[in-house]
Structure 1
Amino acid sequence: MNGAPLPAGPGPRTGRVFTAPAGRAPVLAGVGGHVPPTVVTNADLVARLDTSDDWIRTRTGIATRHVVTPGTATSDLAVEAGLQALKSSHDSQVDAVVLATTTPDHPCPATAPAVAARLGLGGVPAFDVAAVCAGFLYALATGAGHIATGLADRVLVIAADAFTTIVDPDDRGTAVIFADGAGAVVLRAGTAGEPGALGSLVLGSDGELSDLITVPAGGSRQRASGLAPRPGEEYFRMAGRATYRHAVERMTAASLHALADAGWRPGDVDRFAAHQANARILAAVSERLGIGPARQLSNIEHVGNTGGASIPLLLDQSAADGSLKAGDRLLLTAFGGGLSWGAATLTWPELQPGPGPRPTSRTT
């Protein structure tokens, strides 16, 4: 895929826009999702944290979230979502597997090869991508690049996170937000302009602000210091106010660039699927883009913030319940640690989501 720098414009640069070469394009051919069966309600959290149901709903828009229980890891979620996406695509074979995750089963090796093996995909190339909550869009771009350059004809792209395994259960600022789940899509080689073909795809990052979203301990930086981690440094940490501001700015700017490159205006968007970070961020980005509530897809009330999995999980649920229909012009955007962010456009194709159970999504 060819990358061209975007004009700086007001504020921070949004990144690069990527478009497939003429004659061969990545096309969405299947979608799937999975959440673990255990549900944690706001009342469950209120019973052990200094918070209230009203505070959680007002600040995050979340009422319930799905969480893993002992014995369930990220790969287990990824396998289930991948299986549903393969069933949706009506073909059990792919040429590569790309897994976006912040919570791999192990620091080494990557989790994707084990997922591919469990899905019966033989010796196909399989690898992880790390871009936190923007991971799905980064993995989507990676899979699209494989197809556009002829390295693969079909790619399974999965985003899965067991975020509750790295969140401090006693931190009110994160414990009420994050949850667990997985979503997946199958990309196939097709032609630009057909339903499901990926349109404009914008990616960007700003490593100078990497300390806003981090797990301080466990990596080579902390281990090379020769110092033992301090209590709590093994948990996910997020600077809430600064993250909110950057999330709104970067997702808005990336979305506008993707729309401009696609030749769309915000009014042309039928459905808007943003990373389900929290309800206030979603409302602020939608307001800046001029995309009203009737066109916004949302499931955060029922599943919380599932990290990189949030967009494909939302797509799967929305397609299953009819909120997302064939022919809908779709705008995707996400923001995560790194900092990393992205946006993409496509027209939703005619496809049937995998048959697995799923929580309810809705148009807000």
Structure 2
Amino acid sequence: MPPSTRIPPLLQPYVHLPRNDSLLLLTSTLGATANWLLIRVLCDALNNPEDGGDGHNVVLVSWMREYEFWRQEARKGAALDLERLKKEGRFAFVDGLSELCLDASTNAPATTSKSAPQITATSTVGGSPTQKAPQILPVRGPPGRIVPARGLPQGAAPASPALTSTSVQTSSTTRSSLGHHTMKSLDIAHLQTTITTAISSLTFSKSTQRKTLLILDNPDLLLALNPTISPSAMTSLILTLHTLPSVSHILTHMQSDNPFLSPSTRPQPLETSHHNLLVKLAHMSSRVLGVRVLDTGVARDVSGVVRVTEQRVGWMDLGLHEEGKNGDRAEEGKGREFLYQVKGDGSVRVFERGAGGEG
């Protein structure tokens, strides 16, 4: 199935990027994830030609999910091969989770075989312990069992530290050149540099005017990880990135659960920061999409509700737009709601209220 057919017809006009450069906001709540909607936006940007061009490049920055998750979701939900798109210079991923939140040691591949665990023996020489070379425990099993030898061949010298360091550095460089970048600091300047590097690594076609869509997945996590980052600093970073010549649109995904929209009686600093950032981005964005669960509870054939609101005035314009042939500008600001159902095979069905969930 072609990627373009994975986008429900009712949702197509709203996942398609606006003609003018703009900021977009996507919100979600607990129990109603927006991953499927982000994948559809990414699919439309990479595949739909615009004004005689050949679509957009996409940089996906995620602080909540690793690349492997997005690769599988893109393949399953939109038939997109992100590995191929990375090699073509159309897609880049910035990992804001692994180095900042996860233990790096858990991501490192194991170098010791489970069947041959290593132990380190120590002996005392002259009253001080002396560490000996690791010993390999014998493999336990029935008599006569032949086990292939493990380890370096006889006479082979282990790789020198310099060679190992060079190999790791070369591997890291190759990975970055293939469109994978990793954040290693919570400093706002480092965030900007890493994202800018990812944007500049993509192929920019002057002949087709192909520009870049920047997707920021859960940057609100930074407010919890680094309390020194203020909502104003985050919005300034987003506006700075939007002024880059090759960036046309920025889509930001944030959480909008009730505790963030209506802080407690004695609001905590994190609640206040999240609320302020969400409100600022909502005012700055020309289109706001939100997914939430049903107000009436869980339904077998409905996953949730998606609401779309078009803003009349964005931060880069004064609302001076030409009215469409059918007066479509008059529909802006009213908002529309649809029900959606995410199926097990990754497909999504979007339908009007009262149309029924089965079909």
- If the length of structure 1 is used for normalisation, what is the TM-score? 0.28
